[in-house]
Structure 1
Amino acid sequence: MNMLEIKQLDVWFGHGHNRVDAVKGAEFSVPEGESFGLVGESGSGKSTILRAITGLAPEWSGGITVNGERLGKQRRKSFYKTVQMVFQDPYASLHPRHSVDQVLGETLALHGFRDIDARVVKLLDDVGLGQKFRFRYPHQLSGGQRQRVAIARALAPEPKLLLLDEPTSALDVSVQAEILNLLVDLRKDRGLTYLMVSHDLSVVGHMCDRLAAMRHGEIVEIMDVAALRGMQAQHAYSQELLQASV
């Protein structure tokens, strides 16, 4: 079964002469349990696809189906129990005046969980932080620790699909591998499906089973990770991306 299906997706901003077509005719599917990457230069439309899925890009047409349910323009509350997103910048995605306990506890309460204390502790353990971080504030955490909290928040509703928008690009190189390995372990342990945006092909090669190369809002090629590692792209633009990453 496909966890995510995208068909003839167009996303645009503005109207008339001011209209900008950010995504044009995108099509791909992600089977349950797979990790799928979107790669390309800045402005190629990768993150816009994630925003369309979550409802943050209101102007779109085409088909978006998540876990068998065709999405309309509005997202129901149940959608956010299935789909969660981890943003690029852990500094901006956490409220500076909310402790880790508040961040996780409020998310759990919002989704109707009752055993909140036990769940907060387990979430912190699952992302490799532990209870000692429970009552700290974002300014007391490193970038990697903040991103672990952001990942714990995304896991709180027990989603099936995680959207990962450059989840390590704002972090120090020494921390990036730790977060990527955490995400690999979580996917295996929880049976998660990932849709991951990255400009770094080495990250995609480590994290993903398949990937789509995007240019100027269009998907120019879909390949499996074996083709990526073997430098066997078919499209000229994909070949350029691979050569630039060597």
Structure 2
Amino acid sequence: MTVSNAIEVRDLTVWFGSGTERSDAVKRATFSVAEGGSFGLVGESGSGKSTILRAIAGLVPTWSGEMTVAGEPLGRKRSPAFYKKVQMVFQDPYGSLHPRQTVDRVLSEAMQLHGLTDIDRRIARLLEDVGLGTGFRFRYPHQLSGGQRQRVAIARALAPEPKILLLDEPTSALDVSVQAEILNLLADLRRERALTYVMVSHDLGVVGHLCERAAVMQQGEIVEVVTVESLRTGAVTQDYTRHLLASAIASAR
């Protein structure tokens, strides 16, 4: 059976500024993600990986190339249908939630925005799905731990029932023990909801836990697309990828 691609990116260049002040943050990036797949973008800080994610989400207007996501060829603006199919989970669970909104309001507003009904039942199910339960429904962000806040952020992303999640370093702001819990949650949700993931991370261990394939980025360019199995065995072709692997091994000791 042929598996179609949920995401296709071809010759994507993203820049900031103009004229002599222009800086290309991403240069001619090309990759695809199969429906139901999980794809990582890895590299050191400033390599362009988060910029790709933001370009897909429509948060960066200055780009060229071709992007097709969930069957929709993307232009400068995203359609309402796009945001029902594609949602993003940001790095900082502290900054991504409004401090004066309860969990209930955060989730109900996300559903109302997409025209969903039966909101009470949906909220209860979402909270159960992300491992919180209805006891957290009327709490404010300051009453939650970092891991709990990120669970709420994931629930908010799932509220419109998307098929694709864009994950921008979803565990990097969390304690190591909590990171594993969130990664396991994301793996479970992907399986249960048949989701497609694109995840940005500087941590090869995180990518290895959640993804099957990954693009290795350096200075705005994809230098190599590898399977996670090849990362585990060291069967890579580029010196920069070997450098990332060596750094990951050293930091784990």
TM-score range, shorter chain: over 0.9
* 1:147 alignment partner in structure 2: 150
Trace 1:218-233 onto structure 2 (pairs within 5 A): 218-233=221-236
Q: Which of the numbers 99, 116, 130 marks the counterpart of 1:96?
A: 99
Q: How far, CA to CA, are the matches of 1:69 and 1:152 in structure 2?
A: 24
SS across alignment from 1:78: helix
**Alignment partners' CA distance in 1, 2:57 and 2:206:** 23
Report the CA distance between 1:67 and its aligned residue. Answer: 1.5
**TM-score, normalization by structure 1:** 0.99
Return the match for 2:202 from 199, 202, 206.
199
C-alpha distance in structure 2 between counterparts of 1:187 and 1:55, whole Å: 23
Quick check: 1:74 aligned with 2:77?
yes
Matched with 1:134 is: 137
CA shift, 1:124, in A, is: 0.2
Looking at structure 2, the residues matched to 115 and 183 of structure 1 have their Cα atoms a distance apart, in angstroms, of 25
Q: SS of the residue aligned with 1:244?
A: helix
> What are the within-5 Å matches in structure 2 for residues 1-246 of structure 1?
1-246=4-249
Give 1:69 shift: 1.4
Counting aligned pairs with the same residue, the percent is 69
How far apart, CA to CA, are the structure 1 residues paired with 2:176 and 2:226? 27
Tell me the TM-score normalized by structure 2.
0.97
- SS in structure 2 of the partner of residue 62 of structure 1: strand
* Distance in 2, Cα, partners of 1:41 & 1:16: 27
Question: Helix, strand or coil: the match of 2:61?
Answer: coil
CA–CA distance in 1 between the matches of 2:54 and 2:185? Answer: 24
1:231, distance to aligned residue in structure 2 (A): 1.1
Cα offsets for 1:20-79 (capped at 9, x unmatched): 100000000000000000000000000000110011111000001012210110111110
Structure 1 residue 232 displacement after superposition: 1.3
Report the Cα offset of residue 229 of structure 1. Answer: 0.5
Distance 1:37 1:55 in 2: 19
- Consecutive unaligned residues of structure 2, counting only runs of 5 or more, are none
| Alpha-carbon separation, structure 1, partners of 2:117 and 2:91 | 30
**How far does residue 233 in structure 1 lie from its aligned partner after superposition?**
1.1
The unaligned stretches of length 5 or more in structure 1 are: none
Q: In structure 1, what residue type is equivalent to 2:28?
A: G
